[in-house]
Structure 1
Amino acid sequence: MARTKNRPHYNVTFAVLVLGVGAYALLQSMIVPVLPTLIEHLHTSQSTATWLMTGYLLSASVATPILGRIGDKVGKERMLIATLLALTLGSALAGLSNSIGLMIVARVIQGLGGGVLPLAFGIIRDEFPAEKVRGAVGTTAALTAVGGGIGLILAGPITNHMDYHWLFWLPMIMTGIATVATFLFVPESPVRTPGRISWTAAGLLSAWLVALLLAVSEGPSWGWGSARVLGLFAATVVFVALWILVELRSAEPLIDMRMMRIPAVWTANLVALLFGVGMYTTMTFLPQLVQTPAKLAGYGFSASVTQSGLYMLPMTVAMFLLGTWTGRLSARYGSKAVLVAGSFVTVVPFVLLAVDHSRTWELYLSSTLLGIGLGLAFSSMSAIVVEAVPAEQTGVASGMNANIRTIGGAVGSAIGASILASGVTATHPFPQDSGYTDVFWMLTAGGVLAAVASLLIPTVRRTPRMVAAGDSKDNRQADMNEASLNG
C-alpha cells in the first residue's frame, strides 16, 4: 500500500488504537473482584450478578467476528468508530445505573466492544510498514491481557476511594476520547472485501456461540446434566453444522472455511482456546483464593480487594514487558518459536500452584512466570494469524482467534467453578483447599496441551522470492500464505 502525505503517521494511529483496546480490556475484568460489592449495592443475588459477566461474554462473542468481518467489507475505521461509540454508551449507562437489570443491559452493550481488537489488527496491517506489523500486533494483543490484569488491580482502589460507578466512568472517558481521536487521526481503510454480508451465516454463528457459552456459563448452577444445559449443547451442535453448511455453500461467506483450514490458523486457534482457559480461569479464581479468610476457611490470605489485585501485579507487569519485546523476538527467532517458548513457560506456574499455594512468595513467583508466558504467547499468537491470512480477511481471522480465547475462558471458568462448588456445604461456605489444587492441576493439563499444540504450528520460512523481492509486503505476504497453506 502506498502511503500518501496526508495520512497520519502510523505511530499516531497506534496511540489511538491502544487507547481504545486498553479501555475494552479494563472492562473485561474490573468487576470480577468487586462482585460482592455490586451484589450489596444493587440488592441482588449471586446468581443474578453473574449475568454482569455472562451478558458481556455472550455479547462480545457474537460481536467480535461479525464486526471484524463487516469492517473488512465497509471499512475498518468506520466500524471502529461505531464500536467505540457502543463502548462509550454502554459504559455511560452502567455508570448511571442503580439497578441490576439496567446494568446487565449496559454490560451487553459494552460487549459490542469486542470488535475493537480485530479492527485494530486490520488497521495495523493496512497502515504500518511491513517490518513494524509484528511488533504492533504483538503489543496490541498483549494489551488485552495486560488491561485485564490492570483492571483487577484498579478495581479495589476505585471502589474504596471513589464509587463503584467509576469502574465504568473511567473507561467511558477513555473510549470517548478514542472515538474522537479515531475520527480525526485514523485514516480510512484502503483494503476492502467486496460483496455482501451473509446475514444467515451471521445469525447461525450468533446462535451457536450463544448456546455454547450460555451452557458453559450456567452449567455449574443449573447442573451439567440438567435438561436446559444438555438442550443447549445439542442446539450448539445443530447450529454449528448448519453454520458450516451455509458457509461452504456461500459465494460470499462470512467466515471463509478455507481460511480456517490454513494450518497456521487452525493450530493457532487451538492454542488460543487452551490459553483462554488458563488466563481467564486464573484471573477469576486466584483473587478469590487470596481473598478467602484464613481463620474461617483454614487456608487463604484474608486479602482485601485491593490487596488481591497486588498479587496480580507481577503478572501484569511481566505481560506488558514481554508483550512489547515480542515483536523484536519474533523478528529474530520467528513467531512460532516465541509462542512455543511462552507455552512451555506457562506450564511452570500452574505446577507450582498445584503443588503448594500456601505461601505469599509462591503466588508472586507464579504470577510473574505466568505473565512472562502469557506475554510471549498472546502477542506471537495474534501475529501468526495476521501473517497467515490475506489482508482482506485480517479482521475476521483475528476476530475468531480472539473469540476462541473467550470461549476457552468461559469453559475453563465454568469447569473451575464446578470443581470448587463441589466442596461447598451449608456448614462450610468456602471451597475446599483441595478444590483449588484440582483447578491448578486442570490448568497444568491445559498448559501442556497448549505447548504441544504450539509445536504443530507450521514454520514460515524465507523463500528465494522473498529475498529477491527485498521482502516487499505483498510478496512476503504471498509467500507466508503459500507456506501456511502447504503446512
Structure 2
Amino acid sequence: MSRATRLGPVAAIVGFLAFVEFTSGIIQGYYTPLLTDIARNLGIHDADVNWLEGTQLMLSALVVPAFAKLGDMVGHKRMLVWSTAITAIASISLAFTDQFWVFLVAWALQGFYVVWLPLEIALIWSRSRGSAHPAAMTRTAAGLLVAALELGAIAGALSAGALAEVLPMTALLLVPAVAVTVCFFVVLFGVKESPDLTGGRLDTGGLVLISLSLLALTGGLSFMRLNGPADLLSWALVVLGVLLVWPFARYELRHPDPLIDVRMFRSPMLWPVFLTAGLFGVSVLGAQAPLSTFARTDPSAVGYGLGATSFQTSLLIGSYVLSMVVGAMLFPVFARRFTPRVTLIGASSMVAVGFLLFLPFHDGYGQVLANMIIVGLGSGALVAALPAAAAAAAPPTQTGVATGLTNSVKTVGGAIASCVFGIALLGSAGEAVHGTAGSFAGYMTVWLICGVTAAVAAGLLALVPKLAFSDPVDAEPPADPTTGGGDVGASAAVR
C-alpha cells in the first residue's frame, strides 16, 4: 500500500505535523553549537549554562501533564496552538536580550515545545480511532514525525554552524524564532481538531501536587549536579519530590476526573511502557553530552578518548541522528512484520547492545561510530514507538495523558541520569590533566548504566501481552465510533 493509504484519515494532517516536529528538531539542534557564544554574549561563565538546561528541564516536566490532560479535555490542536505560541514568543525574546535572568526565563518558556509530540500522537490516534487499523496508522505517522524531528535537528545544527561566522548574535538567534513563528500559523490553519473531546474541568489539586513533586525532584537533582552528592538540601528536595507522589496518587484515586488516572500504572500493557520510557530517558537524554566529550578528549594527554576535532565529533553526532531517522522509519515496518511488542523489545535490545559494546570497544573512531549507529537505530524506533504504544493501550479518554506520561517519565529518567553521570565523570576528574577531562571510570559507568537500563527495559517489555499495541487480528470494516469503536486499543491488547 502507498503511505497515504496506510495513514488513512490522518494523511491530511501528517504533513503539517511533520513540519511541527521539523521545527522542534531545529530548536533542539540549533542552539547546542552556539552555547559558548551565547555565554560570552550574556557575560556568564560556561558553568552557568547548566542553569539553562536545568530550568528548561524543570518546566518541561511541569507543563506536559497539564497540557496533555487539557488536550483530552478541550482539544489537542488547541493546546498545540497555545504551546506553539508560547514557544514562539520565548524564542523571539531570546534574540533581543543580553540580560541573563531574562534569557533564562525565555529559555525555560521555550521548553513548551516538549508537549508537541505527545499532543500530535494523541491527535493522530483520536482521528484514526474509527478506522480498521488505528494502531498501525499511528505507528506509521509516529515514525514519520520522529524522522522529521531528527532531520530538523541535523538542519538546525548545520545551519547554526554555518551562520555563526556571518551573523551577529541577534540575527543568529532570530533564525529558530522565525521557524517557530511559521510553525504557529501552520498549526493554526493546517491542523484539524480532535473529535470526541471529553470536556470537564481541570483537576487543579492534582496538578498542584504533581507539580510540587516534579519541581522538588528535578530541582534537587539540578542542585546535586551543581553542588555535588554531599549537598543535604539537594537530597532533601529529591526525597520530598518522591514522597509527594503518595498523596498525589491517593488524591487522584478519589477524584472523579483525575489529571492522571494512576490506575493506568496497574495496566499490564501500560506500566512496562512508562517504565521503559523512564529507562530510555537515561540514555537518550543523559548520555549524549558524555559521548560528545569523550570523543573530544585527547588520548595523548589522559590516555583515553578519541581526540576528535569538532568536525569529526559533528560527524559522529550526525551519524547517530541519521541512524535515529532510519530507526524511526523502520519501526512501523518491523511492527507490521513482527508485532509492536517484539519490535519494542528489539529496539531496547539494540540500545543495550550498542552501549555495552562501548565497554570493550572505545579506542578507535570507527568503533565508537559503529556503537553509536547501533544505539541510534534502537533509539529512533523507541522515540516513535513509546507514545504510539501508549496511545494504543490507553483508555479512550486518557490518550493525551498516556502519551504525555511517556514524555514526562522520560524527562525524569534523563534528569536522574544527567545528575548521576555528571557526578560520575567529575568524581575522579582530579586524576586527569588540569582537571578538565572526565574520568575514564566515569565514562565506563555511563556506558554500563545505559546498557543495563536498556536491557532491563527489554526484559520488562517481554512481560507485556503478546499482541499488545496491535490492531485486532480479525478486524472487519471500520468500527462505528458511535457504537464503542473507540475501545480498539484496549481490545487489541488482549487478542
Question: When the two structures are superposed, what TM-score results if normalisation uses the length of structure 1?
Answer: 0.90
> Does the alignment pair 1:443 with 2:450?
yes
> Does the alignment pair 1:472 with 2:494?
no
Matches within 5 A, 1:222-233: 222-233=227-238
CA contact (8 A) 2:91 2:106 kept: yes
The change in CA–CA distance for 1:372 and 1:473 in structure 2 (over 3 A counts) is: farther
> Does the alignment pair 1:342 with 2:347?
yes
Instruction: Tell me, in whole angstroms, the C-alpha distance in 1 between the residues paired with 2:316 and 2:472.
Output: 50
Greater shift after overlay, 23-32 or 427-436? 23-32
CA contact (8 A) 1:158 1:166 kept: no
Deviations 1:299-337 (A, max 9, x none): 334444443221112221111122123223212321111
CA contact (8 A) 1:354 1:438 kept: no
Deviations 1:140-192 (A, max 9, x none): 24555665566556554443454555664333222211211222121122121
What amino acid maps onto 2:237 in structure 1? L
Structure 2, unmatched stretches of 5+, are: 1-7
- 1:81 aligned partner: 81
Instruction: Tell me, in whole angstroms, the C-alpha distance in 1 between the residues paired with 2:158 and 2:285.
Output: 15
- 2:127 aligned partner: 127
- 1:61 aligned partner: 61
> Does the alignment pair 1:316 with 2:321?
yes
Question: The residue matched to 1:113 in structure 2 has which SS?
Answer: helix
- 2:439 aligned partner: 432
- 2:270 aligned partner: 265
Instruction: Tell me, in whole angstroms, the C-alpha distance in 1 between the residues paired with 2:333 and 2:478.
Output: 17
How far the C-alpha of 1:50 sits from its partner, in A, is 0.6
- Matched residue count: 479
- 1:23 aligned partner: 23
How far the C-alpha of 1:483 sits from its partner, in A, is 5.5
Instruction: Tell me, in whole angstroms, the C-alpha distance in 2 between the residues paired with 1:409 and 1:473.
Output: 41
Greater shift after overlay, 164-173 or 404-413? 164-173
How far the C-alpha of 1:467 sits from its partner, in A, is 2.0
What amino acid maps onto 1:360 in structure 2? Y
What amino acid maps onto 1:480 in structure 2? G
CA contact (8 A) 1:68 1:119 kept: yes
- 1:5 aligned partner: none
Instruction: Tell me, in whole angstroms, the C-alpha distance in 2 between the residues paired with 1:465 and 1:437.
Output: 44
2:255 aligned to which of 244, 250, 256 = 250
Instruction: Tell me, in whole angstroms, the C-alpha distance in 1 between the residues paired with 2:469 and 2:416.
Output: 38
The change in CA–CA distance for 1:427 and 1:326 in structure 2 (over 3 A counts) is: closer
CA-based RMSD: 2.7
- 2:141 aligned partner: 136
- 2:13 aligned partner: 13
CA contact (8 A) 2:299 2:307 kept: yes
CA contact (8 A) 1:58 1:111 kept: no
> Does the alignment pair 1:385 with 2:394?
no
Instruction: Tell me, in whole angstroms, the C-alpha distance in 1 between the residues paired with 2:171 and 2:464.
Output: 43
Instruction: Tell me, in whole angstroms, the C-alpha distance in 1 between the residues paired with 2:435 and 2:253.
Output: 53
The change in CA–CA distance for 1:42 and 1:242 in structure 2 (over 3 A counts) is: same
1:217 aligned to which of 212, 219, 222 = 222
- 1:70 aligned partner: 70
Structure 1, unmatched stretches of 5+, are: 1-7
The change in CA–CA distance for 1:179 and 1:478 in structure 2 (over 3 A counts) is: same
How far the C-alpha of 1:218 sits from its partner, in A, is 2.4
How far the C-alpha of 1:81 sits from its partner, in A, is 0.8
Instruction: Tell me, in whole angstroms, the C-alpha distance in 1 between the residues paired with 2:63 and 2:162.
Output: 31
CA contact (8 A) 1:30 1:167 kept: no
Instruction: Tell me, in whole angstroms, the C-alpha distance in 1 between the residues paired with 2:40 and 2:183.
Output: 33
How far the C-alpha of 1:47 sits from its partner, in A, is 3.7
Matches within 5 A, 1:146-295: 147=152, 155-162=160-167, 168-295=173-300
CA contact (8 A) 2:282 2:450 kept: yes
> Does the alignment pair 1:102 with 2:102?
yes
